[in-house]
Amino acid sequence: MVAAFLLDPLMDADDATAMVGLCEAFPAYGLYVTERSDGDFAPELAQRYDAAANYVRTGGRFGRREPAATLALRTNYLRESYAYGTEVVAPGIERFLHHEALLDAARSLYGRPVIEPAIAYANILLPGQELAVHTDVPEFRGANRRLFPQWLMVVMHHSGLFERWRMPIATGIAYFADETAGLPEGGELAYWPDGADGAVTVLPTRHNTGIVLDTDSVFHGVDRVGPPGVDPFAVTPGNVLMHEGGRWVLRPERGSSEVLATFGWNEVRFSVSWKAYCFTDEAERDAWRTHGDDLSLDLILAQLSADLGQRGVLTTDELTERELALLLIDTYERYPEPASP
């Protein structure tokens, strides 16, 4: 069993109310677009080809049979950063970023006392949207999502070959909403604390609650938001969601007066994610900052290829980068199997 810390309540009532105000005051939320890495290994593969391919293969946690295009629409959710390192984007986020309940849970998660909050960001899922089952993109000394493809970082962690370089990251997922509006249907967090072969745990989203866990290791996803059968709302690049006059309003683009749709707090799933590096001591934190003992792509691929050879699945060294990428994902990422529809 991997530890997960439930925080209920997460903050005191006034702080939680202030978080709802912060969410509403944020100017506009845009479509989440996966950033590209600088690396060019197998560049034709999407950054999270691993999770997307599994989603399309299985039809999600409940094995629903839908066209790939519909499934793609279901994962077009909105995301904005509130804080990134020491940069504050949403004034007032500091109380959340450095909240003692999150810091305490992060310390307990790995038994590492030095916690360095790295990011806080909002995810908004509209009716019909969901988050495919995945593990998050981990980070290693010298290897992160800015340098190398995201799927490769995930493969590296699942292979267990690079633990010496791994940065233990604690992830907090917190929920804030205007409770007076009622809760949205669905949108539960589904996670597998005992691994892909174990039972799933389902956590409802309630205002001012949260969970801290190792989402780089624990498979998780978000169940479909909204009543059964609801079609996904087709959010397209450039669309923005903003809170106006007590409603969430989706517009085609910033500055537009056109309204594509409006939603109440009781129709959207709003979460604020938090990630923090967890260090044993200041010396370890300094090694990370100074880049002593960093990995390189050559070393990563050599180690993985050697392991594939030992497993007997690498029978030729004539593979293209894409073929090697698919073999790595297939070999190391074992997803939970979907439940019956």
Residue placing its CB nearer to Fe ion in the complex, 136 or 267:
136
CA 156 to the chain's CA centroid: 17
Residue placing its CB nearer to Fe ion in the complex, 29 or 219:
219
DSSP letter assigned to residue 79:
E
Structure tokens at 305: 């290829």
The strand pair at 87-88 and 78-84 is best described as antiparallel
Structure tokens at 106: 């992060």
Please report which helix (H) or strand (E) contains residue 311, including its range: helix 297-311
Residue placing its CB nearer to Fe ion in the complex, 136 or 333:
136
CA distance linking residue 10 with residue 3, whole number of Å: 17
Residue 111 C-beta: closest distance to Fe ion, Å? 23
Residue 220 C-beta: closest distance to Fe ion, Å? 6
Residue placing its CB nearer to Fe ion in the complex, 6 or 306:
6
132 phi and psi angles, rounded to 5 deg:
-60, 150
DSSP letter assigned to residue 137:
-
Residue placing its CB nearer to Fe ion in the complex, 84 or 254:
84
The strand pair at 240-244 and 220-222 is best described as unpaired
DSSP for 143-204, written as a single string:
B-TTTS-HHHHHHHHHHTTTGGGB--EEEEEEE---GGG-PPSB--EEE-TT-TTS--EEE-
Residue 256 C-beta: closest distance to Fe ion, Å? 31
CA distance linking residue 15 with residue 93, whole number of Å: 10
Structure tokens at 297: 């792509």
Residue 131 C-beta: closest distance to Fe ion, Å? 7
Residue of closest CB approach to Fe ion: 136
The site for Fe ion (CB under 5 A) is made up of 136, 215
Please report which helix (H) or strand (E) contains residue 84, including its range: strand 78-84
Residue 217 C-beta: closest distance to Fe ion, Å? 11
Residue 136 C-beta: closest distance to Fe ion, Å? 4
CA distance linking residue 3 with residue 246, whole number of Å: 38
Residue placing its CB nearer to Fe ion in the complex, 211 or 314:
211
Residue 94 C-beta: closest distance to Fe ion, Å? 23
Residue placing its CB nearer to Fe ion in the complex, 58 or 215:
215
